[in-house]
A and B are shown apart, each in its own frame.
Chain A
Amino acid sequence: MADAPPLLDVRGLSLGYATARGTVRALDGVTLAIRRGAAMGLVGESGSGKSSVVLALLGLLGKEAALAADRLDFAGEDLRVAAPRLRGLRIGTVFQDPAAALNPALRIGLQVAEPLVQHRGLSARAAHGRAVELLAEMGIPRAAAVAQAYPHQLSGGMKQRAVIATALACEPELLLLDEPTTALDVTVEAQILDLLERLRAERGVSMLLVSHNLGIVDRLCDGLTVLYAGRVVESGATEALLAAPRHPYTRGLLAALPRADRGRIGRLAPIPGSLPDLTRPDPGCNFRPRCPFAAAGCEAPQALHPLDARHVACHRAEMLHDAAWPAPDAAAADRVPLGGTLLEVADLARGFRLGRGLFRRQAEVRAVDGVSFSLRRGEVLGLVGESGCGKSTLGRLVLRLIAADRGSIRFDGSPVPAMPPDGFRRRAQIVFQNPDTSLNPRQTVDVALRRPLERFGLAHGAAATREVERLLDLVRLTPAYRPRYPHQMSGGEKQRIGIARALASRPDFLVCDEAVSALDVSVQAAVLNLLEDLRDTLGVAYLFISHDIGVVSHIADRIAVMYRGAIVEEGPAAAVLAPPYHPYTGALLSAVPVVGARGRAAARTRLKGDVSSAPTEGGCRFAHRCPAERGTVCRTQAPPVQQAGPGHAIACHIPVAELARAPAALAVAE
């Protein structure tokens, strides 16, 4: 068995891109092997070069890329020669964003059928018939109608199913999956992962899954290769590797990961520093500058060597067997105790009209539809939900950045009018998701941080300069950042500036709108720790909006779950993360890919369709997708709000006692 040649055998794969700054060494001696029927996960943060591997295998790198390899074999054939003949036929590919990977001008059926016509010589008619079958096999209802549709008529999940159908059309032996679920919502992601799992079991197709998400790889792959800055640092069986990582980078990655199944732990352990400059590859270990275990000998080239049933590229891995990853700095101070009610929101609502014009019917989407909640000083309310559920709109409504149709907001005891006074503006601020657009590209850090101080008359001149430096220090940056422009900083640094700007006016309340979602895990941990420190020392309250349940469960005191404009469940974080919960919460939690949770399959609840599927008028807005739906009552009557515990409310027709019998979605079966 072990002697059988691997299906995919890559050794010493290197890749250089010529750029104005010099040659970027995107891949450096990557070695990777996949046995027939096996699934290998290729994991790395942005800049690790993981997507380049897929393009290199397919022979689809641009002309400016220089590729070298000791071996690049697929089933005994050199891919450098054979790739054009093999791709689409024996190697299927699924790219990241299905909306971009499907041709907007062609019908789905044609796109699925194309490889069949090309490689199998089927007639257009026969190929179309087979395409419809394939679509049905991928779990697409009404496959014949979908085959006639254009991509824009399908939801994201359906598009990705069509892409997978295309990749599988010629029954390939190897499936290349490049971040196949990254653009999708978590419940849809779970459906796609189920599908891939089933396909692997039924068809025995081998997979190379490229992802930044360790949880997804853990679910789908038996092998795992960790890539750092173009080099393989550790490679072996997924389970063993994740249970006991041996390379410092893999250890750091796991230590930095906030995990829903662990709930609130102390501080996360970020990896300091950032990616090395790939134009000047370090002949020694390139993780060395960020490694807490770096010592003499690290400047020598590191070869992958076997250790504990895996391969590690670290000469100290064996020595460090018992050394723990350094514990993160303890919380800077004891947490300021929660204070009285700071923010009270009642029945907030906002609709958006879709399309307009004389001859077009105006449809209205109720983005936020009667939301109420309150927040105490120093408290963190996590707001979770899938895209389009209205969570970002709610964050902006609360700050009066967009006008509400109805509802009231009280801040520190007084009502907040539609045009709020400066006092409210000073005390309620916002941190955005995308560090690239949250800073004005034409303003230096100094200008950006000084403005709120001057705007609210907090400091001027030299005092303002001192204050800017204090703010930089608060977000762990040096005064040297003052003259920098956004393009001169990394994503994590920009995000810190965004936080510093929000903190400049010494607010009591911050809306964090997906504030860490765009960051890599190692950087995300640092920013999360920072936010926690600020909460603990300054007593700032957060409305923490995120689609990432792991992050929210790490930072939130209470969690509110939003679905189609309304909060369906709200309560203390620990209570929301365990039964009884709203069927939607249950489905959401069971959809989250968690590291080391293979035994979880039993507890999986899967939702039909996605958020955009058929709307329900009246009744429960979740009824059409609810796995526990109770017939007409759910479809016609608004669900009652039930108390499931102290401060824990669930809007559902099903009695709490019954909801409590739901399996714990996050618990790991040992």
Chain B
Amino acid sequence: MAGFLLRRLGSLAFVLWAMTVLVFAIVHLLPGSVAHMILGEYATNEAIATLEAKLGLNDPLPVQYWRWFSGLLGGDFGQSLTMERPAGPVILEALGRSAVLAGVSIVLVAVIGVSLGIHSAVHKGSATDRALTLGQYFFIAVPEFFWCILVILFFAVWLGWLPATGYTPIADGGVTGWAKHLVLPVSTLVLGLIAHVSRLTRSSMLEAIESRYVLAARAKGLPERLVLRRHALPNALLPTITVLAVDIGILIGGIVVVESVFAYPGLGRMLVYAIDNQDLPLMMGGMIVITAVYALANLAADILYAVLNPRIRVGGTAA
């Protein structure tokens, strides 16, 4: 187990480093001058030269990379080009707000998705199962940004129950005000993912229910509830964990879209802002932070998988 952790941490560090190289390379090696890109088509040569000097763009690329990378290691993301602030704190604040969105969503997805999947599998062929299967087709296929439009139209415009966009810190609006701004973004984020998770949980649960060891458990005379809970469920949940890890990637994509639509000041919206305004330090920093979060989430899923799977957790032979 210790070796497993060490290996995974090692590969995590490697992925993050490779990501810094990739981000840097794509930004700096693609055709076109960075300064030109920032200042736009009609910039004077003088202005470009000034900016290039200011940004250190005349230095050799490895030097520039090292300056940026060593800054990152020390927590310095550079100066935002458009906000007149260091990029680091901007990114951190946004990250915190996105983390709330993502955390609430992933918990809901896991709880609701897994429960629905298990229910479908246990009652295979029932009306609920068929309705859920049909729902899954639908919800997996509807893009988040269109959901955003629909829920805004329905809940904010027509019913007027919830605010369409924006964000209120707890300090200003209290818990209710803060939570009200979360309801719509979270619900659009989770719909597709719940469909995805419940569908795969259903199939892994069905596989477990049809396994030999569940047959053996029934032959022992255990009541069906115990057979399902103790024998089928732990084995069915293992593939679900892998699915949840994949879905974190999809969730990050959803957050970028949903934050933009709901004007929720998180990391995704910040990233789109940085791209639109060519704020390179903000953009590069944002991407590195998102990759790091994603890699950590995957690591957590791997650890959870290992903890729940005795074949990884306990090695060796006993007799």
Contacts and interface: CB of A to CB of B under 8 A. Distances in A.
A166 B220 contact: yes
B75 interface: no
Contact of A100 (B7, B212, B222, B223): B212
Nearest to A99: B212
B234 interface: yes
Given A104-B311, A105-B309, A142 B216 contact: no
A146 B219 contact: no
B221 A84 contact: yes
State which size class the interface on B falls in. Answer: 20 to 34
Given A88-B221, A118-B221, A101 B318 contact: no
A6 B10 CA distance: 66
A141 B319 CA distance: 7
B319 A149 contact: yes
Given A101-B213, A153-B317, A60 B221 contact: no
B196 interface: no
Nearest to A145: B318
Contact of A154 (B3, B223, B318): B318
A636 interface: no
A150 B220 contact: no
Given A87-B219, A103-B231, A358-B10, A155 B317 contact: yes
Contacts of B317: 153-155, 612
Given A142-B319, A158-B319, A100 B221 contact: no
Interface in A298-353: none
B314 interface: yes
Contacts of A85: 221
A500 interface: no
A103 B309 CA distance: 12
Contact of A105 (B216, B310, B316): B310
B220 A115 contact: yes
Nearest to B317: A153
Contact of B319 (A100, A102, A140, A166): A140
Interface string B201-238: 00000000001110111111111001000110011000
A163 interface: yes
A118 B10 CA distance: 47
Q: What is the interface of chain B mostly: helix, strand, loop, or mixed?
A: helix
B314 A150 contact: yes
B127 interface: no
Contacts of A100: 211-213
Interface in A101-122: 101-106, 114-115, 118-119
A87 B215 CA distance: 12
Contact of B216 (A102, A152, A155): A102
B159 interface: no
A97 interface: yes
State which size class the interface on A falls in. Answer: 35 or more
A150 B310 contact: yes
B319 A145 contact: yes
Contact of B7 (A105, A106, A358): A358
B6 interface: yes
A404 interface: no
Interface string B4-45: 001100100000000000000000000000000000000000
A152 B311 contact: yes
A357 B7 contact: yes
B311 to A, nearest CB: 5
B221 A152 contact: no
B214 to A, nearest CB: 8
Nearest to B213: A103
A93 B219 contact: yes
B216 A95 contact: yes
A115 B235 CA distance: 20
Interface string A355-384: 001111000000000000000000000000
A515 interface: no
Nearest to B215: A60
Interface string B278-319: 000000000000000000000000000000111100101111
A534 interface: no
A104 B318 contact: no
Interface string A462-496: 00000000000000000000000000000000000
A106 B6 CA distance: 26
B212 A118 contact: no
A74 B252 CA distance: 60
A611 to B, nearest CB: 13
B319 A101 contact: no
Given A104-B311, A114-B217, A154-B317, 7 more contacts: A103-B217, A105-B235, A105-B308, A118-B223, A150-B310, A357-B7, A359-B3
25 contacts: A60-B215, A60-B219, A88-B219, A93-B216, A93-B219, A100-B213, A104-B213, A104-B235, A105-B234, A106-B231, A114-B220, A115-B220, A115-B221, A118-B222, A118-B223, A118-B226, A140-B319, A141-B319, A145-B319, A146-B318, A146-B319, A149-B318, A152-B311, A154-B317, A357-B7
Interface of A: 58, 60, 84-89, 93, 95, 97, 100-106, 114-115, 118-119, 140-142, 145-146, 148-150, 152-155, 158, 163, 166, 357-360, 612
The 6 closest A-B pairs by CB, nearest first: A88-B221, A149-B318, A100-B212, A88-B220, A93-B219, A150-B310
